Amino acid sequence: MERKIRVLVAKPGLDGHDRGAKVVARALRDAGMEVIYTGLHQTAEMVVQTAIQEDVDVIGLSLLSGAHMTLFTDIAELLKERGMGDVLVVGGGIIPEEDVPRLKESGIKGIFGPGTSMDEIITFIKENVKG
């Protein structure tokens, strides 16, 4: 049997807006993926630790506070340091267009802003995850 895609949905930083993260977590689960949700208030270190322990293929970061440039890139750096560079990292939230190129450069492969459909996220993950 084919191994299910394992996804960590994570809320780094102090941001408490978890509606989007929870809706996406539900949608990914309904799409047949195994979903682990970190809950709120995660440091970069905590997110990466959980990703290692849970042996995930994908990390989905959600942040609406505006701290994404610091926290998303912290996580991407840390993953590379720990030899987890092949985990697919995607992010969503209130992210201005002008920040997207720098986030992609740092290793966040997909950025999904407000209004993104759940289907779009599911398709992106299926197409980009390393099997």
Task: Count the Cβ atoms, other than its own, within 10 Å of residue 1.
Answer: 3
Do 9 and 129 meet the contact criterion of CB atoms below 8 Å apart? Answer: no
Is position 54 an interface residue for another protein (rule: CB under 8 A)? no
38: tokens are: 């970190």
- For strands 88-93 and 34-37, give the pairing: unpaired
Is position 14 an interface residue for another protein (rule: CB under 8 A)? yes
Among 22, 82, 102, 104, binds another protein (CB under 8 A): 22
> Of 83 and 92, which has the nearer Cβ to another protein?
92
> Of 25 and 88, which has the nearer Cβ to another protein?
25
Is position 39 an interface residue for another protein (rule: CB under 8 A)? yes
Task: Count the Cβ atoms, other than its own, within 10 Å of residue 62.
Answer: 26
Q: Which residues pair with residue 61 across a beta bridge?
A: 10, 91
Is position 123 an interface residue for another protein (rule: CB under 8 A)? no
Sites of contact with another protein (CB under 8 A): 9, 13-19, 21-23, 25-27, 35, 37, 39-41, 43, 65-71, 74, 94, 96-97, 113-115, 117-119
